[in-house]
Structure 1
Amino acid sequence: MFEIEKINTAVLNRVECPGTEKHYKITLPDGLLPDCLKDGKARYSVMIETFLPIAERIKKFQVYEDDVWVITFPKCGTTWTQEMVWLLNNGLNFERAKKHSLEERFPFLELTGALNLIGGDSVSDVENLSRPRHIKSHLPPMLLPDQVWTVKPNIIYVSRNPKDAATSFYHHYRNIVGYDGPKEHFFDAFLSDNLIYAPFGNHVLDYWKLRDELNVLFLTYERMKRNLRAVIDEVSLFLGKSYSKQDVDALEEHLSVESMRANKSCNMDALVEWARKTNYSEDRKRNDAKEFRFIRNGNVGSYREDMNEKYVEQFNDYEKKITADNDFSFNM
């Protein structure tokens, strides 16, 4: 089904690290794409070697109508959206949410194929969930289970502007994946689509093409920051739920950056500690200040702290190429 090719580029080789190494280009011919995406062009995605054994398992994965999927390109508001969706779909049961980590309530389908050394079998973990299942993924449409297109579970996709997405992904690579190189090398890899889950533009635009499907809700990180309350209302309606003003007030407060960072069921402290022990170089282990938090500042425009003017211009050009000849905008 898939065409698989090992990638060996200088740009990519500079960002390979303990958590992501041995990258492959996985291509799906246009004829095998779902009808809603066919446009005469094949699709490809960059993944790492540990994904290859689970690629076909995921394509054949059993999907149920009551599944709820939250899908993003990495570092585009995934954790934030997962917590909102799970609570809306579970009667705003804050106490239950506190007792069970987000990883348990809303597991990451392809985790063992997206992060080296993590161990386990994330596909089986999701298969064994009690229904209704809540499933996190960063996969582009071409790598999703075939049954997604026939069973049509609810899918919520969140996009984010590439400058902030790349900056947040850089900090994730540095503190979770074990990357010790300069941020400029990472930005070069992002801009040239030489990273896991790339190409970024195709990832976003293929989900944008699905926005009119009744089972798909397309959100933007920027809109969530501008008017979270309106997004909560929209997601509630999409999920067939209804809550009082007081309930929404409580959820909006719960989803604030400050609250999420202090929320032990969401802030991924265990993953951060695992990374320090597993993916850090000896120098990082000796000198790391342990200040990284999985949920960082969450601001729109935070790229300005890490990106010089040269890269801002390059990312602006990159964004223009993505949004050219279509009606999509990252700032909707």
Structure 2
Amino acid sequence: MEREKIIPKSYPSNVLNQNWSQRPIYNKTNSKKFLKAVNEMEVRDDDVWLITLPKCGTTWMQELVWLVLNNFDFESAKQEHLELRSRFLEFEEVLYDGEGSIIKYSTEMKSPRLVKSHLPLPLLPSQLWTKKPKVIYVFRNPKDAIVSFYYHLRRYKETTFLNLTDYAQDFINEDMLTHQHFLHVTEFYALREEPWIYYTSYERMKSDLRSVIQDVCKFLNKNITETQLQQMLHHLSFEEMKNNSKTNHIWEAQQLCRIFNKEIEDVSFIRKGKIGGYKDDLTDEDINKIDNWMNNELQSHNVGLDDLLLQK
């Protein structure tokens, strides 16, 4: 996918004191019209925004938050695709048919909206950092995320790489994308103490999902009973999520098949969900190369991986 440098209409200078003019921002070519619509998008006071890098537990947290916002309505959750209950902002551009608003689906959602996005902070709606609605951010060990994203691209037949080693090498060599990887997370990590931000990690969700559910409920000012908590732990377990047709993005796959005349053989979006699962797929040489890349990036941001993963 070709990328181009983006200069947004405005920067979140009121939430982070940094030189935004020096912050590299890239997005796919010919996306300026969409990004302008996003920048000008109306943000509602009762919105909840879920922001992540790709393959960092977005779907898992998305289902969790939707249930909290909707009074733990498990029956409705089992009847409707997650991506229709909670819109993926960037997918709106894919669905845009040339009429009306580019982001009309999110705009038409009833409140309270749960909107997910992989966009970095400076490309999100400008009202996000002025109105400051609730924002949830989830990070994941990049080694697991890289492997997961490779298989995700293979599912949609969008990768030209024959093997994971070549893909991982390209990922860490692509400066304008990989440099943004840690800018994306460290900007939200720097805001983690703000009352409108809830920052967590995939690893923490795996190790203590009960506490994360309780944290999210407290963050969103929602009560939860022990019975509801047990239901959540069951519904959000890996086995249930993987076997749930409403959380495997089947609807999105169907839209891509329709729009781009594609065939998608593997309908399961959720793959393994393991912590450290990269060890099963990456070679020792791959891991060393990714570790060196991560260490250089982390040093430049003066932060450790354990800090970002909340493992200290």
Q: Compute the displacement of 1:112 (Å).
A: 4.0
Q: List gaps (5 residues or longer) in structure 1.
A: 1-20
- Alpha-carbon deviation of 1:185? 3.0
Partners of 2:40 and 2:28 in 1: CA distance: 20
Q: Which moved more, 1:147-156 or 1:194-203?
A: 194-203
Superposed CA RMSD: 2.4
- Tell me how far 1:303 sits from its aligned partner: 1.1
CA distance in 2, matches of 1:48, 1:55: 10
In 1, distance between residues paired with 2:103 and 2:81? 18
- 1:65 aligned residue: 45
Alignment correspondent of 2:250: 269
Question: Matches of 1:83 and 1:304 in 2, distance apart?
Answer: 27
Corresponding position of 2:113:
133
1:55 is aligned to: 35
Q: Is 2:268 the counterpart of 1:293?
A: yes
Confirm whether residue 308 of structure 1 aligns to residue 283 of structure 2. Answer: yes
Answer yes or no: is 1:104 the counterpart of 2:81.
no
Percent of pairs with identical residues: 32
CA distance in 1, matches of 2:182, 2:144: 14
The 2-side partners of 1:44 and 1:82 are apart by: 28
3-state SS, counterpart of residue 137 of structure 2: strand
Aligned residues of 2:24 and 2:176 also touching (Cα < 8 A): no
Distance 2:170 2:238 in 1: 29
CA distance in 2, matches of 1:244, 1:235: 14
TM-score, scaled relative to structure 1: 0.83
1:240 partnered with 2:215: no
Quick check: 1:40 aligned with 2:15?
no
Tell me, what secondary structure is at the counterpart of 1:47? strand
Distance across 1 between alignment mates of 2:127 and 2:310 = 32
1:75 alignment partner in structure 2:
55
Measured against aligned partners, the alpha-carbon deviations of 1:279-311 in whole angstroms (never above 9, x if no partner) come to: 688xxx6xx8x3462111111111122211111
Q: What's the TM-score once normalised by structure 2's chain length?
A: 0.88
Pairwise CA distance, 1:34? 2.1
| Structure 2 unaligned regions, length at least 5 | none
Is the Cα–Cα contact under 8 Å of residues 69 and 112 in structure 2 kept in the other structure? no
* 2: CA distance, partners of 1:265 / 1:195: 34
Describe the SS at the equivalent of 2:130. Answer: helix
Does the C-alpha gap of structure 1 residues 89 and 151 become closer, same or farther in structure 2, counting only changes over 3 Å? Answer: same
- Take 2:166 and 2:27, find their aligned partners in 1: how far apart are those partners? 19
Which of the residues 184, 198, 201 maps onto 1:217? 198
Distance 2:87 2:234 in 1: 24
Structure 1 partner of 2:173: 192
Contact 2:189 2:308 in 1 (8 A): no
1:164 to 106, 120, 144: 144
In the alignment, residue 287 of structure 2 is paired with which amino acid?
V
1:146 counterpart SS class: coil
> Match for residue 330 of structure 1?
309
- Note if contact 1:24-1:47 (Cα within 8 Å) is conserved in structure 2: yes
In the other structure, the counterpart of 1:179 is 159
Q: In the superposition, relative to structure 1, how do residues 33 and 242 fare at CA in structure 2: closer, same or farther (>3 Å)?
A: closer
Q: How far apart, CA to CA, are the structure 2 residues paired with 1:308 and 1:331?
A: 26
* Separation in structure 2 between the aligned mates of residue 193 and residue 203 of structure 1, nearest angstrom: 15
1:132-169 CA distance string (max 9 Å, x none): 11101111101011111111110000000110011111
